[in-house]
Amino acid sequence: MVIQNARILDFSNKKVVEGDIEITEGRIKRIAKGLKGNKIIDANGLFLMYGMIDPHTFLGIAEDGVGYREFDLNETSDIITPQMLPSYAIHPEDPAIKESASWGITTAIVMPGFSNIIAGAGTIIKTHGKSINDLFIKEPCCIKVNLTRTPIAYHQKDKLRTKMYAYAVLRKKLEETREYMKKSEKKRDNSKEDMKLLSMVLKGEIPLLVHVHRRDDIERVIALKEEFGFSLILSGCEEAHLIPSLLKEHNIPCILGPLMRADKDPETRNTTFRTCKVLEDHGVKFALSHAQSENPVKLLRFLAMYAHKAGLSKWGALKAIAQTGYEIFGLNDMGNIEEGKIANIVAFDKDPMDWKSKVVWTMIEGEIVQRGEI
Amino acid sequence: MKAFVGARIFTGTEWLKDGALIIEENRIVKVLRRKRLPKNAEIINVKGKFITPGLVDAHSHIGMVEEGAGRDYADLNESTNPTTPDIQAIDGFYPDDPAIRETRASGITTVYITPGSSNPIAGLGAVVKLKDGYLKDMILKDRAGLKLSFGENPKATYGVNGKKPITRMAIAAIIREAFYKARVYCNKRRGKERDPQQEALCLALRRKIPIRAHAHRKDDILTALRIAEEFNLSIIIEHCTEGHLAVEEMKGYKNIIGCVSGPLLYFPWKVELKNLSFKNPAILSEHEFLVAIMSDHPFTHAKYLTLYAAMAHKEGMDEIEALKAITINPAILLGVDKKVGSLEPDKDADFVIWSHHPFELKSEAMEVYIEGKRIK
Amino acid sequence: MILFKNAIIHTVSSTGTIKGDLLIKDGKIVEIGENVSHPDARVIDAGGLHIYPGLIDIHTHLGIYEENAGWAGADGNEYSEPVTPHLRALDAINPDDPAFFDAYANGITTVNIFPGSANIIGGLGVAVKTYGKKLKDRIVKEPSGLKMAFGENPKRVYSSKNILPSTRLGNAAVARKALLEAFNYYKKNENSKNDPRKFKLNLEAIKGVFEGKYPARIHSHRADDIITAWRIMNEFDLKFAIEHCTEGHLIADFIGEKKIPCALGPSISTKIKQELKNITFKTAKALYDNDVLFAFITDAPVIPIYTLPLEAALAVREGLPEDEAIKAMTINAARILGVDNRLGSIEKGKDADITITDTSILDPLHRVIYTVIDGEIVFDLKKYGKVVI
């Protein structure tokens, strides 16, 4: 299949290139001019960008229109629940999934919510399919930890009142995991799913994704990483702009967001879109996300616009929604329209950073799954 | 090299009328009696002023209860479980608490932060310097003490809700049971299971860190000392409110390193505070206990530490002893006296230049230095 | 006295959009046109810049759900009982809420502040300028409306307390009872002298709607809740506006026919409640096609106040004409509030509340260069140094 006459956004060279794209078996085979093929899609000058990724969502588990009582977001019966796997809770019929695809988000990471210290696993999905088997890309892709005051707000009645305790509980669980890993295979209790998942973290097989707001918490989490040796991704990071050198020094990637918020409490009082520029200037890797806030996933492109307005470079803004997220989670065959990558492509009628631009079609793995914004 | 010349200098142990404080980079070189100054020193004239070491507050929750942020931002008491030996005050410490800026501007440069007193086994404290920069650079000594709480607070947290401990008996039992279990773990542990809670208790059992025992009333002070003796723990009594009524009995216990008196500018709103008195540190000091004076911030604001010491002096404490109670004594009790607490060679250049004697109400901390860097 | 020269002035009036100068004196707009000059004026070159009337958001909780304050600053919903008509947003406003700065730094110069939607009758709103030295001087209209609510919020709050209302049945019953009581009170007092023994503060608050002093402003998302609001208000022949109007596009012809004004939005929202199931950016166009008077709202701080022009932009993408979108943030809002004699457009004699941007205010990438309130430059991007988002 060949897409002809496209204006291709090339993140590597930060240019718009005119040309054709040949797609075979769901992957981009060639980009050149004058390509031919059996099936032709005339892009007719449309702007093609790689499919966007929102790396922190509750798609399918906090479903549109059903009401919060039906949510499968927060297992509040305990504060440590690493074994929560979203694949068993994602409802593929959640209208938000199709809607997100129609607005150009081809990939999303679904995670449990903010109520627990160790919340559970992250699941990478594509935004198209009838059953979880169709949507499923990878699980677990990370284990989510919350070190903000939100778990305290949920559990302060009887389980958790201070952040000191949250850190102590997390540390204890990691030590417990270390001990579990020391045991020989025969002696290990393999029904302990929580231990197995956390072992994957301590072995470096999957990262720990830690949601924090304040800069001193970022420092603490980095110290924990140094102590236990796991791979770290920071989420939230509203105060990352106060300590960018530390993030650069330890090469910690960030999933920034939610930035478009107003209900700021003392922990998030320094939330600003200006964080993006500071991180870009310091060479810190970051992706943008709505982060399970009350802003719908479909508006991801507008987050990039606001980040650009606040000083982030234009290509930096586009990469933050369509490339870096893939990189951070090791999805190396995704994240730019280039040969070899999976053919997740979105066609816009104008430059994607133009507020008037609209998605004309969304392609996932070489198949057009949506035509136009829902 | 800088020489601060012409002030009256309190070194941490004595006053020099007309001395010179020599510092280089972040260290103190020496304090000279006569004005025989090193040749290459930059001379700074501070005639008429007073210099003291940076003040040390031996018991505070600064940064843990953010000034002006309200009840949702208090990281003081993990009141969900009476036994939390491994929680650390440093994990609840907010370096940008406005109170920190105010406090160091009043000359307090080193602080011991600790969990609150809701839990009989409350957790680990740390010594921090109130300087700018990364959190890790502020920590002078991590895991510097294990807090135990006796008396009314644990009962008021758990007992009133029908949970253990309802009585002082149970407080002691909870603590003793925990140390018995920990003893077993400590003796066994060579490459065995690592349990952070047991680790914390082991630090105390191995006398690597002291017990910081919150006790107001005489009976609670004696219970704390009794338990320390049983397990051979080194112990410091925090508040020690009725200590001045118990000095003879306290002397019978060998494990006690000292007492941290305060908060003194306070109201006896609990029964155990009935005998609260500003004479407390003076009397303890006369009986040769090593005494420090605390703010217990936020219960009394840390920035007024000199006021609390001044009032102790007014109520009978020797002036030098009162100054030592907020400089060298707490440094010794906190185990950081090699670095702070007095103006001696090779210690950190933490010092304060005052407009008047620090005990005079109108005195102001005009310049404050931490490790040679002027922070005010 | 300030003279802005060479700007593109969106007057939002019959004058249309012109290229020219704008003269401001003593807090009012005094001259608009080409080649305006005045010897005493401070001249600011606004070449290439766009001047709009200061934006107006007629449904927010600024100051009563304060930024950065947590529980201590949450004073928007008195959910101790469902009918609290006499509670005034005015009595809970923190004038130093940082959100007011966010507002005027982004071109929003007047906000209407309401109690929340936990209660069937929540209380009285107040419209204020987002900047001013004294709160009293900032007030534009007080009371600005009687806040009411139908739908899921009241029944969710009170069903958890096992109090009426726990259903939409209850919602309507509580509303009708309160209005009936107020109606009887209104009829009895209408012609008699003010007897202090008979004075009831809560019923006085509802009486203001009967007297036509201010409208009821009724939170409803679902189409049936919008119709419920109309049926009950129609029973008593009362003026009202619909807040949010989420399913307004499903009954746009009805809303247009009955001439119900709408405070529309926020459309930037996940469908986190069932009644938001049909939320869409297309509602504005549908209302416009049916000649409905509507204005965009953010319901800040539910979403940030600076997203007001984004609400408009998203509606333009779905077909709403651009100049209609501008009206819906300016003159329409002023009309619904009943303050269009002094706000909402750039015309001689109106308050000098304007915002000046480097490109169309509908483009999310626009930057606010100046905001002027009551003739004073309250935000200057050059001086402040960075955009406020």
A302 touches chain B (CB under 8 A): no
- CA B20, CA B18: separation in Å to the nearest integer? 7
Query: What pLDDT score was predicted for residue C191?
Result: 55
From the list C269, C301, C364, the residue facing A296 with the nearest CB is C269
Q: Given A67, A274, A306, which is nearest C364 (Cβ)?
A: A306
Using 50, 70 and 90 to split pLDDT, how confident is the model at C193? low
Q: Residue C252 has what DSSP assignment?
A: H
Chains touching B, CB cut-off 8 Å, 3+ pairs:
A, C
The mean per-residue pLDDT over the stretch B79-95 comes to 96
- The answer to whether B94 contacts A160, with C-beta atoms less than 8 Å apart, is no
Local confidence band at B46 (pLDDT 50, 70, 90 cut-offs): very high
Give the structural domain span for A295. 52-332
Question: Over the stretch A169-195, which tens digit does the pLDDT of each residue have?
Answer: 999 999 999 999 999 888 888 899 999
CA of A67 to nearest chain C CA: how many angstroms apart? 4
For residue A270, the distance in angstroms to the closest alpha carbon of chain C comes to 9
CA distance C31 to chain B (A): 47
> What total number of domains does chain B contain?
2
Question: Residue C168: which H helix or E strand, with range?
Answer: helix C168-190
Contact A216 B93 (CB under 8 A): yes
Lowest mean pLDDT among A54-58, A126-130, A218-222, B162-166: B162-166
With a CB cutoff of 8 Å and minimum separation 6, the contacts of B181 are B198
- From the candidates B66, B71, B86, B118, which should be mutated to test the interface with A, based on the most A CB atoms within 10 A? B86
Asked if residues A53 and A342 have their Cβ atoms less than 8 Å apart, the reply is: no
Where does the pLDDT of residue C371 fall: very low under 50, low under 70, confident under 90, or very high at 90 and above? very high
pLDDT tens per residue, range A38-97: 999 999 999 999 999 999 999 999 999 999 889 999 999 999 999 999 999 999 999 999
More confident residue, C69 or C191: C69
* pLDDT-based confidence at residue B37 (cuts at 50, 70, 90): confident
Q: What is the pLDDT of residue C245?
A: 98
Residue from B294, B287, B296, B280 nearest B256 by CA: B287
Give the separation between CA B352 and CA B52, rounded to whole angstroms.
5
Domain count, chain C: 1
- Partner C, chain A 40-69, Cβ-Cβ below 8 Å: 62, 64-68
Structure-block tokens of residue A319: 């990469």
Does B77 contact A at CB distance below 8 Å? Answer: yes
Claim to verify: residue B245 and residue B167 sit in the same structural domain: yes
pLDDT at C192: 56
The structure tokens 């819906």 sit at: C328
Q: For residues B224 and B363, state if they share a domain.
A: no
Indicate if the pLDDT at residue B193 is higher than 80.
no
Amino acid residing at A243? I
Nearest to C67 among A67, A262, A353 (CB): A262
**Which pLDDT score, from 0 to 100, does residue C73 have?**
83
**Which pLDDT score is estimated for B154?**
94
Token duo for residue A120: 């559970």
What's the confidence (pLDDT) of residue B167? 87
| CATH number of residue A310's parent domain | 3.20.20.140
Residue B73 clears pLDDT 90, i.e. is over it: no
Q: Could A355 and C365 be called an inter-chain contact, meaning their C-beta atoms sit closer than 8 Å?
A: yes
Domain interval for residue B141: 55-340
Report the pLDDT averaged over residues A277-306. Answer: 96
Range of the domain at C94: 54-344
Residue C317 lies in a domain: yes
Is residue C360 a part of any domain in this protein? no
Q: Chain B contact for A162, CB < 8 A?
A: yes
Whether residue B89 lies within 8 A of chain A, CB to CB, comes out as: yes
Q: Is residue A83 part of a domain?
A: yes
Token pair belonging to C56: 């107006």
Tens-place pLDDT, residues A101-124: 999 999 999 999 999 999 999 999
User: Cβ–Cβ of B135/A220 closer than 8 Å?
Assistant: yes
Nearest chain B residue (CA) to A152? B72
Domain-embedded: residue C28: no
Contact C270 A305 (CB under 8 A): no
Measured from the Cβ of residue A330, the count of other Cβ atoms closer than 10 Å reads 13
Q: Is the pLDDT of residue B255 over 90?
A: yes
Domain count, chain A: 1
Residues B221 and B360 in one domain: no
CATH of the domain at B157: 3.20.20.140
| pLDDT the model gives residue C37 | 92
Cross-chain Cβ contact C69/B70 below 8 Å = yes
> Do A302 and C364 make contact, defined as CB atoms within 8 angstroms?
yes
Give a yes or no: residue C372 inside a domain: no
Nearest Cα residue in chain C from B69 = C69
The encoded tokens of residue A24 equal 């075979």
Q: Tens digits of per-residue pLDDT, B106-123? A: 999 999 999 999 999 999
* Neighbouring C-beta atoms of residue A348, cutoff 10 Å: 21
Question: What local confidence, expressed as pLDDT, does residue A255 receive?
Answer: 98
What does pLDDT average to over chain B? 94
- B72 contacts in chain C (CB < 8 Å): 70-71
Residue B185: predicted pLDDT: 86
A294 and C304 in contact by Cβ < 8 A? no
Q: Averaged over B65-89, what is the pLDDT?
A: 92
- Inter-chain touch A295–C303, beta carbons under 8 Å: yes
The pLDDT score that the predictor gives to residue B71 is: 79
Identify the pLDDT of residue B190: 62
Q: In this structure, are B196 and B82 located in the same domain? A: yes
In a domain, A249, yes or no: yes
Which of B250, B259, B229, B254 lies closest to B332 in space, CA to CA? B259
Quote the crossing angle between the two packed helices A314-322 and A300-309, to the nearest 10°: 150
- Residue type, position A173, single letter: K
Same domain, B357 and B317: no
- pLDDT, position C223: 97
Per-residue pLDDT band for B187 (boundaries 50, 70, 90) equals confident
Among the listed residues C314, C327, C267, the one whose alpha carbon sits nearest the alpha carbon of residue A355: C314
Which chains reach chain A with 3 or more Cβ–Cβ distances below 8 angstroms?
B, C
Let me know: does A216 contact A237? Beta carbons within 8 Å.
no
| DSSP letter, residue C83 | B
> Which of A79, A147, A165 to mutate to probe the B interface, most B CBs <10 Å?
A165
B36 CB within 8 Å of a chain A CB: no
pLDDT at A238: 96
| Record: contact C317-A265, CB cut-off 8 A | no
Which positions in chain C touch A65 (Cβ < 8 Å)? 271, 274, 276-277
Q: Is C304 on the interface with A (CB under 8 A)?
A: yes
> Which of A352-361, B33-42, C287-296 shows the lowest per-residue confidence on average (mean pLDDT)?
B33-42
For A301, the closest chain C residue by CA position comes to C364
Neighbours of chain C (3+ CB pairs under 8 A): A, B
Percentage of chain B beyond pLDDT 90 is 85
Per CB-CB distance under 8 Å, the chain A contacts of B95 are 216
Same domain, B260 and B139: yes
Does C140 map to a domain? yes
Residue A33 maps to a domain: no
Give me the residues paired with residue C124 across strands: C88, C146
Same domain, B293 and B312: yes
Say which of A265, A274, A353 has its CB closest to residue C68. A265
pLDDT digits (tens, 9 = 90+) for C272-317: 999 999 999 999 999 999 999 999 999 999 999 999 999 999 999 9
Structural domain includes residue A132 = yes
Determine contact: B123 vs chain A, CB below 8 A. yes
Whether pLDDT at B359 is above 80: yes
Q: Inspect the interface and report whether the beta carbons of A168 and B95 lie closer than 8 Å.
A: no
Report ipTM (2 d.p.). 0.93
Which chain A residues contact residue C313 at CB under 8 A?
Answer: 355
pLDDT by residue (tens digit) across C196-238? 777 788 999 999 999 999 999 999 999 999 999 999 999 999 9
Q: Dihedrals φ, ψ of C243, to 5°?
A: -95, 140
The answer to whether residues C114 and C93 touch, using CB atoms and an 8 Å cutoff, is: no
**In terms of domains, do B191 and B288 share one?**
yes
Give the pLDDT mean for B316-339.
97
What's the pLDDT score for residue B194?
82
Nearest CA in chain B to A177: B194
With CB atoms and an 8 Å threshold, state whether C362 touches A62.
no
Instruction: Tell me whether residues A355 and C362 touch, CB distance under 8 A.
Output: yes
- Looking at residue B38, its pLDDT comes to 81
Q: What is the mean pLDDT of residues A319-338?
A: 97
Q: pLDDT tens digit string along A249-265?
A: 999 999 999 999 998 78
The CATH code of the domain that includes B361 is: 2.30.40.10
- Among the partner-chain residues A160, A168, A178, the one whose CB lies closest to the CB of B194 is A178
Domain-located, residue C363: no
Of the candidates A162, A215, A223, which has its C-beta nearest B75's C-beta? A162
Nearest CA in chain C to B73: C70
The answer to whether position C17 is within a domain reads: no
The predicted-structure confidence for B200-251, as pLDDT tens digits, reads as follows 999 999 999 999 999 999 989 999 999 999 999 999 999 999 999 999 999 9
Statement to judge: residues B23 and B85 lie in one domain: no
Mean pLDDT, rounded, for B58-78: 92
Residue of C nearest to B70 (CA): C72
User: Residue B32 — very low, low, confident or very high, per pLDDT cuts 50/70/90?
Assistant: confident
CB contact under 8 A, B135 and A243: no
* Model pTM score: 0.91
B103 and B193 together in one domain: yes
Does A355 lie at the interface with C, CB-CB under 8 angstroms? yes
Kindly state whether residue C165 falls inside one of the protein's structural domains: yes
Burial B72-97 (b: 16+ CB within 10 A, else e): bbbbbbbbbbbbbbbbbbbbbbbbeb
Pairing of strands A254-256, A286-288: parallel
Distance from CA of A86 to the nearest CA of B (A): 29
